[in-house]
Amino acid sequence: MNFIGKTRLFVVGALTATALAAAPVLAADGFDLSPEQANRLRVEKNDKRIAEVPKTFKFVEDGVLTIGISTSGNLPLHDYASDSKTVIGYDVDLAQVVADSLGRKLQLVEVAWADWPLGLVSGKFDAVISNVTVTEERKAKFDFSTYRKDELGFYVKADSKIAALKEPKDIAGLKIITDAGTNQEKILLEWDRQNVAAGLKPIDVQYYDDNAVKDLAVQSGRADAVFSVNATQAYAAAINGKTKLVGTVSGGWPITAEIAVTTRKGSGLAEPLTGVLNDLIASGAYQKVLETWKLSPEAITKAQTNPPGLPKSGS
């Protein structure tokens, strides 16, 4: 299927009276999963940052900020609401206050994760807000404005006797689930290599494509822990209460990694967006969006344009 066949458009405008009156659909821990999102934070336009956008930058649509976003079932970051068609989540809420700051309506373009680089380069959207980590390889083609820490988490069964998994020696001899071909897998295998070199027991690495199967493996004792994206695991733990966090690791271990708004290289949009994010941090709006989706531990204190990213493979 080509790129165009994988995209869907979602226009986020002013809330109607009906939407405001609708009762929210709440998950077990109070997350609003309704399509209306009546309590979504909105902010005033930021004339200073609007003036910083280069006159040469051509938005996809006049008066609109078009954002590419994945909807791969990763709440609290992004997923479908209770109507199975409206995209909600932290990334959507952040996109909304960024669009508000630039005095534009928000339009979301659903895109498969593997296709966002092509979509951005070809002008399908103005920017991407979809849990994209800053890497040196990506910086060769894109600009970045950081907005969240890239955190990975170790989660165990809620009644597990395991209290902490924070450094290599802690995982020795354990059965741990992770995601193939990811940074978390690389970190886990490196920790295991260090442990074996130090004479400690190796780990048993397990891989499952389905989250329900992962959970079953942990609950049944076939696995001791899951090591994956902290945000999505924290959400699941808050909803079902079956697992608990016992340690976090930067997604760029041993260096710090950050998630960023991604724009076309040299388009001139990155600096205004970084300014918008820092203004949202200063006003407290940024923190409120994080709190809505219980992501406050992943807050940054300052947005940056093109900071050092994860090194290229082999470097």
Nearest to 276 by CA among 113, 127, 107: 127
Q: Which DSSP symbol is given to 72?
A: S
> What digits encode the pLDDT tens for the residues 51-81?
999 999 999 999 999 999 987 778 899 999 9
Annotate 187-220 with b (16+ C-beta within 10 A) or e (fewer): bbeebbeebeeeeeeebebbebeeeeebbebbee
The percent of residues in the chain predicted with pLDDT above 70, rounded, is 90
Backbone phi and psi for residue 278, each to the nearest 5 degrees, phi listed first: -65, -35
What was the pLDDT predicted at 20?
A: 33
Nearest to 124 by CA among 141, 139, 107: 107
Enter the pTM of the model: 0.82
pLDDT at position 310 over 70: yes
Q: Which residue has the higher pLDDT, 194 or 183?
A: 194
What was the pLDDT predicted at 15?
A: 35
Q: Which residue has the higher pLDDT, 114 or 303?
A: 303
State whether residue 297 is helix, strand or coil.
helix
Rounded Cα gap, residues 256 and 262, in angstroms: 18
> What digits encode the pLDDT tens for the residues 32-47?
999 999 999 999 999 9
Q: Which domains occur in the chain, in start order?
A: 4-150+258-298 (3.40.190.10), 151-250 (3.40.190.10)
